């Protein structure tokens, strides 16, 4: 017959000296848990942002296309940067109607949108925006069949697109017409 489990000795009833080794161990363990939780939450937030971005691209794809040119992909990126234009316009209309003495409504949302757009625009101009690789037909088919789940992100290939790709695409269109 197995032995019954003994209740662990509860050391929390004992007073721990603040300069003791036990106090240092508890402090290290606590700091480690905080760092681990912070790292996990930051990673989750980054993945969620990437999933939202990829879902937007998936919803705004031309379903008849089998491949995209670099300039078309850059045009899609530019369209992505202007996705909040209607919402910003609505907020401005709401704020302009009547005289508000308590301040503007939706200020936090407006600030959040502007910060996001500023960060993404800078990314698009400087280091390039990561978007799904739609230039390769095989990658495009894989992206179209993606269900939107974060666990399948490693199956998707990403590519960096720059503003200069969009500008050069517009210039080539003007010269060919």
DSSP state of 126: T
The verdict on residue 134 lying in a domain is yes
What mean pLDDT is predicted for residues 73-96? Answer: 90
Q: Strand 129-132 vs strand 158-161: parallel, antiparallel, or unpaired?
A: antiparallel
What mean pLDDT is predicted for residues 105-133? Answer: 91
pLDDT at 149: 93
| Token representation of residue 148 | 């939107």
The verdict on residue 101 lying in a domain is no
pLDDT at 175: 57
Give CA angle at 61 (58, 62), nearest 5°: 150
What mean pLDDT is predicted for residues 5-30? Answer: 82
CA distance 123 to 117: 10
Measuring CA to CA, how many Å separate 118 from each of 20, 47, 58, 89? Answer: 49, 20, 23, 17
The verdict on residue 3 lying in a domain is no
The verdict on residue 71 lying in a domain is yes
- Can you give the CATH number for the domain in which 171 is found? 1.20.1440.170
Tally of domains in the chain: 1
- Domain assignment of residue 67, given as a range: 56-84+117-176
DSSP string, 53-110: HHHHHHHTS-TT-S---HHHHHHHHHHHHTTTHHHHHHHHHHHHSS--SS--TTHHHH
Asked whether the predicted pLDDT for residue 7 surpasses 60, the reply is yes
- Residues in CB range of 156: below 8 A, 6 or more apart: 54, 132, 133, 139, 142, 143, 146
CA distance 123 to 129: 6
The verdict on residue 153 lying in a domain is yes
pLDDT in tens, 41-84: 999 999 999 999 999 999 999 888 888 998 889 899 999 999 99
Asked whether the predicted pLDDT for residue 100 surpasses 60, the reply is no
Length of the chain, in residues: 177
pLDDT at 122: 93
pLDDT at 164: 82
The verdict on residue 80 lying in a domain is yes
């Amino acid at each position: 017959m197995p032995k019954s489990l003994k209740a662990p000795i509860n050391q929390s009833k004992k007073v721990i000296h603040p300069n003791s080794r036990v106090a240092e161990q508890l402090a290290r363990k606590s700091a480690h848990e905080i760092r681990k939780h912070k790292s996990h939450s930051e990673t989750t937030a980054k993945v969620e942002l990437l999933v939202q971005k990829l879902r937007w691209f998936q919803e705004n794809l031309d379903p008849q296309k089998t491949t995209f040119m670099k300039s078309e992909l850059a045009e899609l990126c530019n369209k992505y940067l202007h996705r909040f234009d209607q919402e910003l316009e609505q907020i401005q209309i709401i704020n302009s109607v009547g005289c508000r003495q308590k301040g503007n409504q939706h200020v936090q949302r407006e600030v959040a949108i502007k910060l996001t757009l500023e960060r993404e625009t800078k990314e698009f101009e400087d280091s390039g925006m990561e978007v799904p690789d739609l230039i390769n037909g095989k990658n495009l088919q894989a992206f179209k069949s993606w269900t939107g789940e974060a666990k399948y992100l490693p199956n998707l290939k990403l590519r960096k697109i720059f503003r200069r790709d969009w500008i050069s695409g517009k210039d080539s269109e003007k010269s060919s017409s």
